[in-house]
Chain A
Amino acid sequence: AQKITQTQPGMFVQEKEAVTLDCTYDTSDPSYGLFWYKQPSSGEMIFLIYQGSYDQQNATEGRYSLNFQKARKSANLVISASQLGDSAMYFCAMREGQASGTYKYIFGTGTRLKVLA
């Protein structure tokens, strides 16, 4: 069963508008972490934001925020005021076994975002 699901293969957004990229996850581990990464066309993987399963507040990093809804098992990425440079592939990922300190990560299949001028 897929543990990380990104249902939007591709999305368009107008420059300066906000956009939400969807991510749902599945785990029975009470301790886990959720991540978003950006992969521009140049290919490198860029860490954007992290949310721990026990964190009470939604994570924010500049124009990025993570809308964490634990009961729904969703961890959507919200990008405010989109810029042309935001055009990229975005991956949602989960790390299970946080309490035991494992290093096992599961990635979604990605959402390709195109920002329109």
Chain B
Amino acid sequence: EAQVTQNPRYLITVTGKKLTVTCSQNMNHEYMSWYRQDPGLGLRQIYYSMNVEVTDKGDVPEGYKVSRKEKRNFPLILESPSPNQTSLYFCASRAPSYNEQFFGPGTRLTVL
């Protein structure tokens, strides 16, 4: 089944404790992206990648890191999480020739 998977789905952590949210897709898509969703703000793009070793900032990259060492994986790293990073995070992927983005199920992160 074609899908984007994210792990963990839920995470409660404390300020400053480094964490990684994994994202993997099995559709051989070149493009991958991370978003955060906050009430009243919609989705905002954090980082995106157009291919292996090619990443670029979205609208809200501060406090986040990404890497794209393999085509299928695009982890989101929070080196020192803070409470304002409490949010619902989505990973998405897309093939260049298609318009549709495929979204993962989301990761709900709470930083205390």
Contact = CB atoms under 8 A, between A and B. Distances in A.
Q: Do chains A and B stick together as partners?
A: yes
Interface of A: 4, 6, 33, 35, 43-45, 47, 50, 52, 91, 93, 101-110
Contacts of B99: 33, 35, 50, 52
Contacts of B31: 103
Q: Provide the main secondary structure of the chain B interface.
A: strand
A88 B92 CA distance: 20
Nearest to A39: B37
B12 to A, nearest CB: 17
Contacts of A110: 42
B102 to A, nearest CB: 8
Interface residues of B, number: 27
Contacts of A35: 99, 101
B43 A44 contact: no
A103 B45 CA distance: 10
A44 B106 contact: yes
A108 B56 CA distance: 21
